[in-house]
Structure 1
Amino acid sequence: MASESSLAQPRVNESESQGIFMKPIAVVALGGNALLRRGDAPSFDNQLANVKIAAAAIAEIAKDYRIAIVHGNGPQVGLLALQNLAYTEVAPYPLDVLVAESEGMIGYMLAQEIQNVMPTSEVTTLLTRIEVDANDKSMLDPTKFIGAVYNEEEAKVLAEANNWIMKRDGEYLRRVVASPKPKNIVDMKAIDALLADEQIVICCGGGGIPVCKSDNGFMGVQGVIDKDLSATLLAKQLNAEKLLILTDADAVYLDWGTENQRALRHATPAELSQYDFPAGSMGPKVEAVIDFAAFGGKAYIGALEHGLDVLAERSGTCVSN
């Protein structure tokens, strides 16, 4: 396995090295809150409506790029966790298994709707394991929001009943879990092969299934990896040209929630590094685009429904050197 220091090195595509032209790669990261808007009922129909919006935008981007899609799973894995607790005949399934379930669920919906829009294209959903450090500092300081939003009274009851940690997400409270940083994409060879075959690849879903090394190989880790950090690791390993983070926010804002709030439309990694953003929401997205832009790519943050405009720099936030 490659050392951690080598993971950020560009990978040379074999076809390109032989002089065969292939479209550049774009990594598109879809936020779990964009696919299931906060405050909306967590129904299949609500999610499907947003998946259709994503599929239409991806179809346009695919005209010029080979695409790897990473999606979030915060609302979805939280819902699975609640359903998991409702059945009391057996012990609840661990969080890494629920992440895998959400990968399959969301990946299926995305693959089907993308192929409905692009019937001649091949679309593959790949359950993806990502190596993390079992002793990551986030294990002691959870920051990753999952599940629904609650008012003060609801949050207190659920926290006491289930031994959950709750933190504020805007005007609401949500459950938070550990979010270890991604170190290595275990299934990278499969992603490479699918993209070389010019398939649209849905991978690293929900940030990927967190695993760590043990004496008996890999084992699951109780956490949810931030999908934006996984998307950046993927984009760097693929030597992608662009990283597009689509969420339920239309841009990166300074002084968010105040009368002085203002959108950042263009920034360099150094400029963006001057500001602090919440660890449980915009913070990882900003960290991701800074990392990828510093690596030499071009990164964007914007609203799911304006994906093409974000990529064309007519909307959202663009970060580059």
Structure 2
Amino acid sequence: PQVGNILLQNEESRQKVPAMPLDVCGAESQAQIGYMLQQALANEFAARGIRKDVASVITQVLVDADDPAFSNPTKPIGPYYAREDEIIVKRAKGWKMVFDSRGGWRRIVPSPRPVEVVEKDVIAKLVHDGDGRVIIAAGGGGIPVIRRDGKLVGVEAVIDKDLASAVLAKGIGWKTLVIVTDVAQVALDFGKPTQRSLDRLNLKEAKAHLASGQFPPGNMGPKIQAAIEFLEAGGERVTITDMEHIVSAVEGKAGTQVAKK
């Protein structure tokens, strides 16, 4: 929603100031998220008498320039447009758009797979060399970049935040990944009378349920995919839960625990 709001601001003011490209809007949203989180955490630590540094790192995430997502954009972003607006926008900007029954036409952009966090070594140093530092990184999935002629170049895309978090955790050698969502546990048959929550899930089960459509894209699907990739890359455990249960879930007493076996 943050980058969508920024895009809407760009649209409303485009007659007065130049609109920013999507990668720059992503950087702006990442800075907003980081600022609010680090200030809230710093204030809470101070109120509790805890001395702990908090910092945000503006994070670029490398993607493959040949990723199929660039020729098949699927991620809706930004404001809704009426039909007449949709025609004008497509002609003027060359955007690809789809109709969303919730409000009209929306721009769709590529959502390529994250390959590597560019600043992973800096983040690792900040995390491992400090006394319990809190580092905020990869907000909103990070800023998508490609390598072109040996240089980093921003691209107009949006990276899934769960997959980016898994790539970052792998890159800094973390063994546990905690994914926070809006439900206490992963569930099968979600929203149906047969819904059942899962305390534990192994790698084989996670792959099977994902393949069978139990975890749809845009919902639990990317979180399960992130868990699978993290474990396959050497991670030991993934915890999926909501904010209310996060402490007990990290202790293995709540949420859904995903492991290799």
Which residue in 2 is equivalent to 1:138? 69
Partner of 2:123: 191
Instruction: Give the Å deviation of 1:261.
Output: 2.0
| Superposition pairs of residues 144-159 of structure 1, within 5 angstroms | 144-146=75-77, 159=86
Name the CA distance, whole Å, in 1 between partners of 2:107 and 2:157: 12
Q: Which residue of 1 aligns with 2:176?
A: 242
TM-score between the two structures when normalised by the length of structure 1? 0.68
**What SS class does the counterpart of residue 208 from structure 2 fall into?**
coil
Q: Distance in 1 between matches of 2:82 and 2:238?
A: 36
| Structure 2 residue runs without a partner (length 5+) | 91-95
**Cα RMSD after superposing both structures:** 2.5
Tell me the distance in 2 between the aligned counterparts of 1:302 and 1:146: 26
Range that drifts further, 243-252 or 120-129: 243-252
Q: How far off its partner does 1:130 sit?
A: 1.2
Aligned to 1:54: none
Look up the match of 1:208.
Answer: 142
| Displacement over 6 Å in runs of 4+ | 171-174
Asked if structure 2 preserves the Cα contact closer than 8 Å seen for 1:143 and 1:280, the reply is no
Q: Which residue is equivalent to 1:58?
A: none
Taking the aligned partners of 2:175 and 2:116, their CA distance within structure 1 comes to 20
* Aligned partner of 2:23 among 96, 103, 115: 96
For residue 300 of structure 1, what is the aligned residue in structure 2? 239
Summarize the Cα distance change of 1:115–1:262 in structure 2 as closer, same or farther, 3 Å threshold.
same
Q: How many residues align?
A: 242
CA distance in 2, matches of 1:229, 1:287: 7
Is residue 2:49 matched to residue 1:118? no
TM-score, normalised by the number of residues in structure 2:
0.83
Deviates more, 1:241-250 or 1:122-131: 241-250
2:93 corresponds in structure 1 to: none
Question: Does the 8 Å CA contact 1:254/1:264 hold for their aligned counterparts?
Answer: yes
Structure with more relative contact order (C-alpha pairs < 8 Å, separation 6 or more): 1
Q: CA deviation at 1:177?
A: 2.6
Q: How many Å separate the matches in 2 of 1:213 and 1:134? A: 8
User: In the TM superposition, what is the alpha-carbon distance from 1:104 to its structure 2 partner?
Assistant: 0.6
1:274 is paired with a residue of what secondary structure?
helix
Q: In the alignment, is residue 129 of structure 1 matched against residue 60 of structure 2? A: yes
Q: Determine if contact 1:269/1:291 at 8 Å carries over to the other structure.
A: no
Partners of 2:166 and 2:66 in 1: CA distance: 22
Please show how residues 168-187 of structure 1 align to structure 2 within 5 Å. Answer: 176-187=108-119
User: For residues 189-229 of structure 1, what are the alpha-carbon distances to aligned partners after superposition, in whole Å with 9 as ceiling and x for unaligned?
Assistant: 21122112232111111111111111261110111111111
Cα 1:256–1:264 shift into 2, 3 Å:
same
Matched, 1:282 2:220: yes
Q: What corresponds to 2:250 in structure 1?
A: 311
| Larger-gyration structure (1/2) | 2
- Cα distance in 2, alignment partners of residues 126 and 138 from structure 1: 26
Cα deviation for residue 175 of structure 1 reads: 5.5
Q: 1:80 to 1:216 in 2, by over 3 A?
A: same
Return the offset for 1:168. 6.2
